[in-house]
C-alpha cells in the first residue's frame, strides 16, 4: 500500500469535495426552483441538485487515482462536516432571537432556510454515507475487473449505483409517511435521472482531471488487496 506517500493535490481535492458537499446541502437545499423544459413542461427541483452530483465526480476521481482507502477518509471527513453543520444549524435556529422586530422576522427566515427537521438531516447524512461508499466500492472493483480500461464505464456505472442508493434512502427516510408513496417514487426517480445525466455530461471533465492527477501524482491505484470495511480510517 502507498499509505505513507505524500501527494501534492490530495488535500485540495478533499477540501473541494467537502466544500461542494456542504454548499449543496446548506445553500442549495433550501430553495425549490422551477424551470420549463421542452416536452416535459414545468419541472420543480431542489437547487442543490445542480451541485451535489459534483461530489460524486470528486469521489470517482479520488478512488480512480488514489484508491478506495483514501477516498474512504474523504467520505468520513464529509460525513463529519455534514453532521457538524446539521448540529450547528439546529443550535443556531433553536436559540431565542433578540427582542426586536427585525430579529424576530429574521428568525423566521433562518428557520425556513436552515430549520430542517431532524428526520431530513438524518436522511441526508445516511444517504450520503451509504451512496458515497457504494459509488467508491463499485468503481474500485470495476477498475480491477477492467484492468484500468474504459474509465467512462466505471464513472457512470458507479454513479448509477451510488446515486440510486443515495436518492432512494434519502427520500424514503425523510418523507415516508408524510408524502404519498407515488410522490416519493416520482421525485426519487427524477432526481436519480438528473444526477446520472449530470455525471454523463461531466465525463470529459472527469477524464481530464483524472489524467492530470495521475500524471502529476505518479499514482494510479488498483484496489486488489484493499480491505473495503467502510469503518476503517487508515488507507
Question: What is the pTM assigned to this prediction?
Answer: 0.87
What is the per-residue pLDDT for 2?
46
DSSP labels for 197-222? Answer: HHHHHTHHHHHHHHHHHHHHHT----
Domain locations in the chain? 10-217
Evaluate if residue 1 carries a pLDDT over 70.
no
> pLDDT-based confidence at 184, cuts 50/70/90?
confident
Spell out where the chain has E strands.
32-37, 41-46
> pLDDT-based confidence at 4, cuts 50/70/90?
low
Look at residue 2 and give its three-state secondary structure. coil
Beta bridge partners of 41: 37
Residues 46-62 have a mean pLDDT of 85
61 in Cβ contact with 2 (< 8 Å): no
Please state which CATH number belongs to domain 10-217: 1.10.1760
> pLDDT-based confidence at 228, cuts 50/70/90?
very high
Beta bridge partners of 61: none
Residues 1-10 have a mean pLDDT of 75
Contacts of 213 (CB under 8 A, 6+ apart): 9, 13, 61, 65, 219
Quote the percentage of the chain above a pLDDT of 90: 53
The mean predicted confidence, pLDDT, of the chain is 88
128 in Cβ contact with 21 (< 8 Å): yes
Of 177 and 139, the one with more pLDDT: 139
**CB neighbours (10 Å) of residue 85?**
18
Residues 118-122 have a mean pLDDT of 84
- The DSSP letter of residue 53 is H
Give the model confidence (pLDDT) of 199-227 as tens digits. Answer: 889 999 999 999 999 999 999 999 999 99
* CA separation, residue 136 to residues 62, 130, 131, 220 (Å): 9, 10, 9, 15
Distance CA 168, CA 208 (A): 30
Distance CA 121, CA 54 (A): 20
Amino acid at each position: 500500500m502507498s499509505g505513507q506517500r505524500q501527494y501534492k493535490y490530495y488535500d485540495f481535492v478533499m477540501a473541494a469535495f467537502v466544500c461542494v458537499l456542504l454548499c449543496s446541502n446548506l445553500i442549495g437545499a433550501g430553495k425549490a426552483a422551477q424551470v420549463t423544459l421542452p416536452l416535459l413542461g414545468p419541472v420543480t427541483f431542489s437547487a442543490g441538485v445542480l451541485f451535489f452530483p459534483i461530489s460524486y465526480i470528486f469521489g470517482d476521481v479520488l478512488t480512480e487515482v488514489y484508491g478506495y482507502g483514501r477516498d474512504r477518509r474523504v467520505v468520513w471527513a464529509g460525513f463529519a462536516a455534514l453532521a457538524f453543520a446539521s448540529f450547528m444549524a439546529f443550535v443556531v435556529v433553536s436559540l431565542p432571537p433578540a427582542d426586536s422586530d427585525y430579529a424576530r422576522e429574521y428568525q423566521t427566515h433562518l428557520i425556513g432556510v436552515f430549520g430542517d427537521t431532524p428526520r431530513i438531516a438524518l436522511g441526508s447524512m445516511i444517504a450520503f454515507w451509504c451512496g458515497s461508499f457504494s459509488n467508491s466500492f463499485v468503481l474500485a472493483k470495476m477498475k480491477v475487473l477492467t484492468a484500468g480500461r474504459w474509465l467512462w464505464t466505471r464513472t457512470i456505472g458507479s454513479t448509477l449505483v451510488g446515486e440510486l442508493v443515495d436518492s432512494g434512502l434519502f427520500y424514503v427516510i425523510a418523507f415516508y409517511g408524510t408524502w404519498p408513496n407515488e410522490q416519493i417514487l416520482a421525485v426519487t426517480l427524477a432526481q436519480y435521472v438528473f444526477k446520472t445525466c449530470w455525471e454523463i455530461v461531466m465525463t470529459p471533465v472527469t477524464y481530464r482531471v483524472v489524467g492530470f492527477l495521475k500524471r502529476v501524482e505518479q499514482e494510479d491505484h488498483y484496489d486488489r488487496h484493499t480491505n473495503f470495511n467502510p469503518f476503517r480510517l487508515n488507507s
